[in-house]
Amino acid sequence: MKYAALPIKLFSLISGRLRVKKIEITNLSFFMKLFLLSIVVGSIGYILISDRENIFTVRGETENITIVFSNDNLNQWDLSDATLLLDITAPDDLVTLPIDSFFMPNVDTTARVVIRNQESKPSQLIITLESDGKSVGEIETADKVIQLPRYAEITIDINQSRVLPLDGYIRVGEDVGLGVDSLLLSGEVSIVEKQFFREERYVATEHKLDTGDRVELHNSVDIDSLAKAKGFIRITSSNPLAFTIHGEAKAVKVHRLGSNSYHITPSIWPRITNDPIIAAFSSLLAIIFLLLEFADLIGKLLFSPRTADEKDDESSSIAKKP
């Protein structure tokens, strides 16, 4: 409410000062007050809208997830007991990987991870790897290293829980279309924002995702530039893929069926309630207004010149005296 009264106060201050032009010292005081007010209001505005470091977290359940790998060492996947297909023209030539087989991707390799539920059989995890380079990466087993070609498909029967760590450019879900059979099922986006001066953080925005959404972290709202993120997929039998992704970004882009894609960005309103600097400045502004109002009142009482009526009253009272 105190902010709503700001323009009224400013107007009354200015119009009041314009009426009283007689005393030079009052004009000086008016500009001093205006200057002080401008500094405080400007500071609040700057703190309110200035760029902050935001950590975006996307978590939920999905049937598919896509990652373009970075060169981080986090990207090592345990592929024990997995089946490997290396040549699409020979789909029956499969290689079964032994226990302690680890996949190490090359930079910019794309991995599409899809879960396939089968009736009366364990669910299957299907990982498709492809690269514009010569190889998608390599698989290290206890006794050899398998150099992979530009395309490879890995199938894992989910008999036990697995965790696949991720570091790179991540997309969750697929946009609904003809032949699409795996989607994002549910999820939420939360934005954790850094306070203006302190290292502490607060939850700035929370946003629910719908089934069928496609979600990406972006570096900018204006241009299509994916932000790097870290996260993991937790795979358990007969369940969809549980994922958590964290990344420093500017927005989360959501592609939703039946509407244009939109961005989720941090709102400035949680800053007012959560950032102590803004709360302090707001209190300061309120105190300044109070003091200005008080000073204005005192000034009127002590220094305002008497009107003609007041003078007449005074002279008539003197004349009446015996």
In the structure encoding, which two tokens stand for residue 249, read together?
Answer: 């970004």
124 binds another protein (CB under 8 A): yes
Which parts of 144-275 fold into alpha helices (H)?
A: 269-274
Per rule CB under 8 A, is residue 182 in the interface with another protein? yes
Binding track, positions 203-242, relative to another protein; x by CB under 8 A = ---------------------x------------------
Residue 141 engages another protein in binding (rule: CB under 8 A) = no
Nearest approach, Cβ of residue 187 and another protein (Å): 19
Q: Work out whether the CA dihedral 102, 83, 66, 63 comes out positive or negative.
A: negative
Q: Does 61 bind another protein (CB under 8 A)?
A: no
- Which of 41, 86, 95, 126 contacts another protein by CB under 8 A? 126
Q: Does 153 bind another protein (CB under 8 A)?
A: yes
Site string for another protein, 247-286 (x = CB under 8 A): --------x--x--x-------------------------
* CB neighbours of residue 309 within 10 Å: 8
Compute CA distances 320 → 263, 308, 313, 317, whole Å. Answer: 80, 18, 11, 5
Distances, alpha carbon 142 to alpha carbons 78, 80, 97, 98, 146, in Å? 12, 11, 10, 8, 11
Pinpoint the alpha helices (H) of the chain. Answer: 6-19, 24-49, 269-274, 276-303, 308-320
Residue 235 CB, nearest approach to another protein (Å): 16
Cα-based distances in Å from 35 to 28, 31, 40, 76, 214? 11, 6, 9, 59, 49
Q: Does residue 130 touch another protein according to CB under 8 A?
A: yes
Phi, psi of 138 (to 5 degrees): -140, 160
Q: With CB under 8 A, what is the number of residues at the site for another protein?
A: 26
Residue 76: both structure tokens together: 């090592």
Comparison of 36 and 88: residue with beta carbon closer to another protein = 88
Quick check: 167 binds another protein (CB under 8 A)?
no
Does residue number 157 form part of the binding site for another protein (CB under 8 A)?
Answer: no
Query: Contact residues for another protein (CB under 8 A)?
Result: 88-89, 91, 114, 116, 124, 126, 128, 130, 150-151, 153, 155, 171, 174-175, 177-182, 224, 255, 258, 261
